[in-house]
Amino acid sequence: MALGEDGEARGKVEFVRVSKAYDGAIAVHDVDLRIPAGCYCCLLGPSGCGKSTSLRMLAGHEIATSGDILLDDRNVTLLPPARRSTSMMFQSYALFPHLTVAENVAFALRMRGVGKAERLGRAREMLKLVDLSALSERRPAQLSGGQQQRVALARALITSPSVLLLDEPLSALDPFLRLRVRAELKRLQKALGISFVHVTHSQDEALALSDLVVLMNAGRIEQQGTAEDLFSRPRTAFVARFIGAHNVIDLGDRAVAVRTDRTAVLPASGVSRFADGDVGRMARPAVVRAVEYAGTGFAVHLVDEGGAELSALMSEGDFHRAAIGEGESVVASWAPADAHALEGGAI
Amino acid sequence: MTIRARWTSYWQATPLVVVLGIFFVLPLLVMLAVSFWTYTGYSIAPAFVTDNYRDAFDGCASQFPTLCTTFRTYASTLKFCVIVWALTLVIGFAIAYYLTFMIRSNTVRLMLALLCTIPFWTSNVIRMISWIPLLGRNGLVNQALVGAGFIHQPLDWLLYSDFSVILAFVHINTVFMIVPIANSMARIDRSLVEAAYDSGATGWQTLRHVIIPLAKSGIAIGSIFVITVVMGDFITIGLMGGQQIASAGKVIQTQISALQFPIAAANAIVLLAVVLMIIALLVRFIDIRKEL
């Protein structure tokens, strides 16, 4: 397994005005999406936002109500899964409990009528790739969650797909394993030179992995771009809130997003300290609701006079200097340059 | 585990052991003992003779390769058993598959499952007598066929024939296949079916490589139900066969009504051995413990 024959990246995906309706309820609404070849793309969003449905339409397990889906410039909208050169890794891994690890991996080849010796040989090679050679004769029930996940990965990759579809692949793993597997997925995607489309509701995962983040909400794409784009230039209040580490501040005529680590908090009595060179800072009086130790600093949660919630991530030094306690009146402030204007207000 | 806790579990198992001991093991042992007794036309007496077993297989060795009565009877019973098993398996599997995979609503599934139990709403005998107005020479089916001009003479193989015996057996036993198979199918994770489809499996391939292997234990349990019922039956074969078809159960029943208990017991032991061998064969192929 390496890059395609000519070493070119594969797996260019296009959604052209794709919609999906179930009995009148619209799950995906007029989605336009372009995923370049060899791209790690995360579909991100809260439950019910249409990300899984989009993935399943790309996989061929759901058929789009309208619109077209193209894969490497081939219209695959109506093709069955096995003829799309996609491959899906299921959330629960969906390993066949009655088959050994090697037989699981070789399943797609068996369905194509590949002879036993050849398919098991290729399964073994694939298991070597995911470092599971020693366990090829075990049953899935005898494996740990992480091992099962790698079997599922090997099974999905044995058909050399152009696009690997991953439905919440890390959700069943413990946090430590999650980080390790995350790195492994990214490495594998680069090595194979194919596209990975990864559905998740974890913004951490999406930011860490993605070349392209697609944030969905209520069946539409709210914003797409690099992880940095989304984080530093959230388009709407929804994006800023979902991606986290942002305050959405309603300024009456408009709304802005300010990163929590660029939001400063000072005791109300100490406002005069803004004098030294910080003229023009935006400020907002608030009351401290809670303080949490966040390891890299302190997260200070505030409620302003209008009842809106704000947070500030303060370094340990700043926090101790400011000497802030719960229930205290403070002033939250930010530099106008750090305020990023949001479309559509604070809702 | 403390010693006390270990004894607790034995106490908890005691009631069932007592019930099974009194109502199952003990009668079985009595039957085994009686099978070695002697009898005359008007009495039975405790003894330890193997005459009853020899009588049960009377002439089977000397007539071979021509089949003796006992072998013919068993062959006939086995024939019904195999045909009924195959039919109930195919029909039961299809219905279980439909209930499990094609019906999405739980309420509808439950209602349809209840429909499957309708044959049990009346007694076995009434149910079988009810076939007569339907299948008899002047029954509904014949009248309809003659009336529609498909046939000129009423069909006489509809009732009191192999056909009617098999029909009644299948009618009553299919549900014993449906329930365990549907139960094991319900445990199949839907994403496995999807994963098979994703791997390029056709519907038949998914059935053969995923669903049937995973429904195996249900199939085995259903098969045991059907095989034991059909092998031991004398009522259905008697009523639906017009008392003209021999069966292993019928032989025993005839001997009991002639008060020849020892030979009836010997035949019952033979029948039990045959059924146990069939089940042992089934269990060899399928690990039923997984299901329990």
Query: Mean pLDDT throughout A200-221?
Result: 93
Cβ separation of A82 and B189 shorter than 8 Å? no
A contact residues 118-157, partner B, Cβ 8 Å cutoff: 155
Closest-CA distance of chain A to residue B176, Å: 25
Q: 């199952």: which residue's tokens?
A: B24
Q: Which residues from chain A sit within 8 angstroms of residue B213, using beta carbons?
A: 98
Instruction: Note whether B210 contacts A159, CB cutoff 8 Å.
Output: no
How do residues B23-66 score in pLDDT, each as one tens digit? 999 999 999 999 999 888 788 888 888 888 888 888 787 877 77
CA separation for the pair A341, A115 (Å, rounded): 61
Question: 3-state class of A260 per DSSP?
Answer: helix
Q: Cβ(A249)–Cβ(A255) under 8 Å?
A: yes
Could you list the beta-strand ranges (E) of A220-314.
Answer: 220-225, 246-250, 255-259, 264-267, 282-293, 298-304, 309-314
Tell the burial category of A338 from Cβ atoms under 10 Å away from its Cβ (0-12, 13-18, 19+): middle
Find the domain containing B244 and state its range: 66-291
The residue count of chain B comes to 292
Q: Say if residue A76's pLDDT is above 60.
A: yes
Can you give the CATH number for the domain in which B180 is found?
Answer: 1.10.3720.10
**pLDDT band with cut points at 50, 70 and 90 for residue A3:** very low
Q: Which residues of B touch A87 (CB under 8 A)?
A: 198
Domain count within chain B? 1
Average pLDDT over residues A331-341: 88
Let me know if residue B15 belongs to a domain.
Answer: no
Is the confidence at residue A1, as pLDDT, over 50?
no
The answer to whether position B239 is within a domain reads yes
| Chain B residues interacting with chain A (CB cutoff of 8 angstroms) | 189, 191-192, 194-202, 205, 209-210, 213-214
**What is the reported pLDDT for B289?**
59
Q: Compute the mean pLDDT over every residue in chain B, rounded to the nearest whole number.
A: 88
Which pLDDT score, from 0 to 100, does residue B286 have?
73
B10 part of a folded domain: no
| Identity of the amino acid at A108 | A
CA distance A184 to A198: 14
pLDDT for res A306:
83
Probe site for chain A from B104, B199, B209, B286 (most A CB atoms < 10 A): B199
Strand pairing report for A40-44 and A195-200:
parallel
> What's the predicted TM-score (pTM) here?
0.82
Question: At A306, which amino acid appears?
Answer: G
Contact between chains at B191 and A92 (C-beta distance less than 8 A): yes
Q: What is the pLDDT of residue A104?
A: 95
- Specify the 3-state DSSP secondary structure of A331: strand
- Min Cα separation A224/chain B (Å): 28
Per-residue three-class SS string for chain B:
CCHHHHHHHHHHHHHHHHHHHHHHHHHHHHHHHHCCCEECCCCEECCCCCHHHHHHCCCHHHHCCCCCHHHHHHHHHHHHHHHHHHHHHHHHHHHHHHHHHHCCCHHHHHHHHHHCCHHHHCCHHHHHHCHHHHHCCCCHHHHHHHHCCCCCCCCCCCCCCHHHHHHHHHHHHHHHHHHHHHHHHHCCCHHHHHHHHHCCCCHHHHHHHHHHHHHHHHHHHHHHHHHHHHHHCCHHHHHHCCCCCCCHHHHHHHHHHCCCHHHHHHHHHHHHHHHHHHHHHHHHHCCHHHHC
Region of poorest pLDDT, from B2-11, B76-85, B91-100: B2-11
Contact B195 A88 (CB under 8 A): yes
Chain B interface includes A94 (CB < 8 A): yes
User: Has residue B249 been placed in a domain?
Assistant: yes
A6 pLDDT more than 70: no
Task: Say if the Cβ atoms of B196 and A107 lie within 8 Å.
Answer: yes
**What's the one-letter identity of residue B176?**
F
**Whether A82 contacts chain B with CB within 8 A:** yes
Is B194 in contact with A111 (Cβ distance < 8 A)? no
Going along chain A from its start, the domains and CATH numbers come out as 13-237 (3.40.50.300), 246-342 (2.40.50.100)
Do the interacting molecules here have an ipTM over 0.90? no
Reported as a single tens digit per residue, the pLDDT across A80-120 is 998 999 999 998 899 999 999 999 999 999 999 999 999 99
- Chain A residues touching B197 at Cβ < 8 A: 61, 80-82
Question: Among residues A64, A55, A84, A244, which one has the least CA distance to residue A160?
Answer: A84
Q: Record the tokens describing residue B68, joined without a space.
A: 């003796």
Q: Do B199 and A94 touch (CB under 8 A)?
A: no
Give domain status of residue B86, yes or no.
yes
**Which of B189, B198, B202 is facing A92, going by the closest CB pair?**
B189
